[in-house]
Amino acid sequence: MNKPPLEVEIKFYLTDMPSFEKRVRSIGASLIRPRTREVNYRFDTQDMSLAREHKVLRLRQDNSILLTYKGPSKIKDGVSVRPEVELEVNDFSAATNLLESLGFCMSLKYEKWRTIYQLGELEIALDEMPYGNFTELECADSALIRKTASLLAVDWSTGITDSYLLLFDRMKSSKKIEINDLTFEALRNMAVTPKELGVKPSDLPKYL
């Protein structure tokens, strides 16, 4: 059996998304997907064994429908590296029924608005999350990720290798609130600070 491909990425918390997007364009990145709403559904066993093993089974709906499996992540050269297998499907309900028939159940829903740029082999995603704005740099070459982060004037030391859902858990713990789904409606009118997410801004003026 062939080894699954690897997802190699790092995130950065942004305080000024418009200025960051201008820098993305200034280094020659091409827009490959305009701002699009993504809705993600996480599936797990009844006893949440996938979450305990740091594995992900996800169904994502945007311009297409993707079924994704991710294995546990490791930190290598300052970026997150984890096995990832993706399969495009054409029927969301059928995919959901398949997963549920196999014994999985939907554990939570989360959403974001994502804009995607491409710079050679590297993908630059601009993510608007319900609790703040981020960029995600993804490429098989971790050295290229670091070089691009420097070109974009973000502070490498503030890079985030945790998932958006782990940041969500930190936020809930910090605020002492119980919310199951990470949606814009659930967090409507709720101010969330970087500290509550356990992150630091990466694009403060001193780095520009």
Encoded tokens for 69: 């499996």
DSSP code, position 201: B
Q: Is domain 6-207 annotated with CATH 3.40.190.10?
A: no
Which pLDDT band holds residue 34 (cuts at 50, 70, 90)? very high
SS (H, E, C) 182-193: ECCCCCCCCCCC
> Which residue ranges make up each domain of the chain?
6-207
pLDDT digits (tens, 9 = 90+) for 71-90: 999 999 999 999 999 999 99
